[in-house]
Structures are given as structure tokens and as C-alpha cells.
Structure 1
Amino acid sequence: MRNRNIITFFLLVTSYWLLVTIFSGCASEYNLATGREEMLFYSTEKEINLGRSISRQVESKYKLLASDLLQKKINDIGQKIADACDRKDLVYYFKVIDDEEVNAVSLPGGYVYVNKGLIDIASDDELACVMGHEVAHIVARHSIKKLQASMGYMLARILAAQTVENSQAVYGADLAFGQIMLGYSREDELLADKVGVKYADKAGFDPKAMISFLEKLKDVNRKKPIAPLSYGRTHPYISDRIKTVKQELGENITFKDYINSQEE
């Protein structure tokens, strides 16, 4: 009985300090991407540290493409998007993963990874729109808010892991990356599409290229099953996204667009 009381006391004290850690950085600020005042429990500094930890895990599991030329191309396009975005308190990193799957992912703190398979089917304007979408996730802090939504268990464990430099930190990064790869809500994804094309346009690229890219993505998904980490699996139905982007750009919505978005 005594041992049980000691364990209970230890868990209560630990939980208290985890909650103090979480709420000590609590702040309300206006998010330019969402257009709303939002409560954030994760400071920019902590977000950057988390992103750095996750990026190490990504690069230990996935091989970066050994092509300085292509890495430079993606970084050059990405930095133009970063310059056009609404969040200037981060350093942005754009890297290419040597994988044929059509996919891209963003991490907290300014990290964007694009698969070679996506680059192979996309024009520069289309790449800019895709990276605009991923940067929009970062600006809107979608990954951080996703972690906040699962506060108690998930965020507490991640925060605790970030305070040590050992296997627990690796575990915390893995935990966060797993949550991100499960995908965002439909609302978050469509917002990233709308904000992303604005960034692409502001950076000097053709925002309508997002529509042509999504049409290509439709063809890719028709030809083969969607892989576990494919760009299609972690996003809303493509026809729904096309309709949303067209509305954002003032393009005409056809009856076919409407029917496709209902049937997918």
C-alpha cells in the first residue's frame, strides 16, 4: 500500500510539472493564416526545437536525394514562398527525399520535405503551389494545434521528451511525426490550399498551377492504389480541393466540379 501511495504521489507531482511546462508558454495571438485570435501553449522556441528533433528522425529514416542541383532548385523555390508567407519568425528549410511516392510534408518550426516522385510530375509553378500549401500548414501552426488537441497524454509526453537528450527525445519526435503523418482535418487542408496559392501568387508563380497539379494527382491515384504515406491519403478528396482552389482564385465552378466533389 505504501509503495502504491508513493507511485501515486510521484505521478501527481510529475503531471503537475508537465502541466506547468505546457501552460507556462501559453499566449494568445492573431494568426494571419487563419484570420483568428488563437491560444497557443507552445512557444516559437519550443516549436523550433520540436521541428529540429523531428527533422533528425525524418532524415535518419528517409534518404535525402544526392543531387545538389535538384536540392538547390527546391530550396530556391521554397525560399521565395517563405519570403511571401505571413510568418517571419522562422528559418525555413526545403529538402528533397529520394522516394518515388508523390508526397510532401511539413514539420513544425519551418521544415518542408518534398519527395522526388512529386518533383518528377510537377512544373516549377506546381511545385511552388505545393510548397505554398506546406508552408501554410506551418504558418497556421496546424501541427502544433493538432498536438495541442490531444493535450493531456500526447503533448505532455512530447514536451517531457524534449527536455532530455537521449532515447526519450527520439521517442518524443517519433510520436509527434506519427501524429503529423496521420493527416490534418479537412478544414486545415483546404485552408492550406487557399493560403498556399496566395503565397505562390505573391512569390511570382502561377497560382492556377495548383489546379493542374491536383488534376495530375488524380491521374496518379487512378493508376495505382494509394500508398500509406501518399499525398492523396493525407489530404481531402482531390475534386473537393480543386473546387476550393477555383473558388479562391475566382475561377468558374463547373457542374462537373460539383458532381466530382460529391462522388469521390
Structure 2
Amino acid sequence: MAISKPLLFHVQRRALPAPTVPQAQAGIIDAPDVPAQMVIPAEAGLQPGDSVRAVMGPLFSQVQQVKPGVQTIIDIPASQLWQLDGQGSAVWAYEVMVNNNWQRSSPIMIAVTTKVNQENWVGESYREMRVGSSATFINSRVTLTFLRTSDLAIVIQNRRLFIGRFSQSRYVFPSSFTTFSGHVANIHNTAPAAHTLNFYDQEGGYIGNLHLPYTGTSSLPFTYSSPTRQRIWRVELIAGAEPIGGGINDTGFHFDDFSWK
């Protein structure tokens, strides 16, 4: 009795050239608030109905089907770019379903990082703000709104921002970030919560706060990093009292700069 040989099945592998990501300059995406696109080259030979997905380090995009006569582009949402922000360089590729198996293309290496932005009011003209008014800084495009005061104004000056005591102000940023820092000067109130920065997400949800330090006549740094890397879009400052008497007559304090990333 002849014994039949077992049938051997071979999964045919396809040559899948590397994708391109136009938003990655020199292998870096530095604006993770803007969705990216993975472009699959025509040389991949995809056929209508093929299932494809993007691979970004540990993350996968949604599976989509190739459409006839249209270049295959996979959208990478900002929500996934935020997860990759600051995690270093990672393998980016695409996968095609072949005989019920995902086959991966040649990879490229991409890092996602939020670039450092700064505001130091260089070139700003002197402006005393009124309650309810707004101003957009010329360099950073951050918008300041003066919400209320029971005492003194907020004053935009060349190279610094004066904050009057007993005031509240809002700062809306053109892009999101997870770390906010800067330098503050002339805070003489020794109370631990005299002046407070509150941080909010894009929907206005509260994230956390930072109490500005006592500085005396010096300029000292401060830094806030959001928990679990939540994205910050808005900052509000509640300025409290500053001492009067004993050789000190403070009407407020100064920010020398902001930076965020």
C-alpha cells in the first residue's frame, strides 16, 4: 500500500518596499497635533480589496481595503502620535494580508517629539490690558485673555510679562504639550499657594496645578509635567496677594519667559 506524501503549503511572500511619511522630516515628526499619513508606493503592487494596516512601533492603524485606481494612503491620527511622543525612534512600516497572514514591508525609522516652543516677549510693544480683552503674542501665537482683577492690570512689555496682584488670566496655545516651564521673578509672598497655574486639556477638563515659587528679587525657574502625559492646551493663572510694607511695595510679579513641549 502506497503511503501518500503530506501536502506542503507555502505562503508566498511579496516584496513590499518601504513606505514614506511626508510629515517626518529627517525621520522626525515634531508636530504630533497634526495627523500624519503613511504613503504606500505603487511598487508594492497592491490589488483592489487587499487589506492593509500601518505599524508604528507598538501601535497599529485601523485595517483598510485598497481601492481601485487610488494611491493607498493610511491616516495616522494625532491620538496615536501623542502615544509615541517622546518614546524615541521606532519602526514604521505597513502590513498586507496575504493568505490570512500579515506580511510586513521594509521599515523606516521615525521618532515623534513635540518641539520646544518659547515665548519671551521679544519685540512686543508696551500694552496695559483691560479686563475682558485678549492679545496674541507675535512670536508664539499664544493668546492671553485678561479675565478679572480686583486691583492692578496685566502689562505686556518687551521681554517680560507683568502680572498684577489679585488677577486671573487665561493662556490658550496653538498646539498641545505635556511640559510647561519658565522663569518668574519678584514674588515676595511666602505663602505656598499665593499664585497658582491651572492646566486644562482641549475639552476644558482640569489636569492639575502648580504653585509658583517665592523668588524674592531673583528670577527662578518652574516646571510642570502633566500626569500620564495628558495633553495640555490651556493654562490659567490665579494671582494672589503681594506684600506691602516693611520696605516692600509689590504690585505684582513678572514672567521672564515660558516654554512648552
TM-score by length of 2: 0.23
Give the greater-gyration-radius structure (CA): 2
Bigger proportion of residues as helix? 1
TM-score by length of 1: 0.22
